[in-house]
Amino acid sequence: MIVFRYRGIDIITSSNLREINFGIWEGYTFEEVKSKYGYGDEFNLWLENINEEINILHGGRLVDLKNRVMTELDKIFKKHQKVNKEEAIAIVCHDGTIRVILCNVLNLELKCMWKIEQYPTALNIIDYYDYEGFISLLNDNSHLEDWWKSF
């Protein structure tokens, strides 16, 4: 993984932190899904999280994403709390997973997750004390400033 190149850090992967399965919507923008599949009401309900139980055809539900991600995060906490309370843990994942974690930290319902902007490669820092999270950095992409200047 390029993020940790040359650092000698063990990388542990977990399928529980993967993005939601977008089923037949996979690979399309939200605008393309609406025009291609005409899912107007169902798509809008899913997007607005009015019903977390809405299932994308051949895909997943937001409530399952939340349960899967938060269960895995709890396992990570328990494992690392025994090792070293001051240990830093990096989780590299897609924005849906990140938004679920941020909603949990902020005690927000899933219907608020789309109100949290997440740029590609953005950095979020959450400090946890006894399982309670405090966000100290949100959606930071300042590491790309020099990269963008090269274009």
* CA 80 distance to own-chain centroid: 20
pLDDT range class, residue 16, cuts 50, 70, 90: very high
- The model's pTM is 0.83
Contact 61, 54 (CB under 8 A): yes
What pLDDT digit, counting tens, does each position of 94-145 carry?
Answer: 999 999 999 999 999 988 898 999 998 899 999 988 889 999 999 999 888 7
Which domains, and CATH codes, for the chain?
15-149 (3.40.50.1240)
Distance CA 86, CA 72 (A): 19
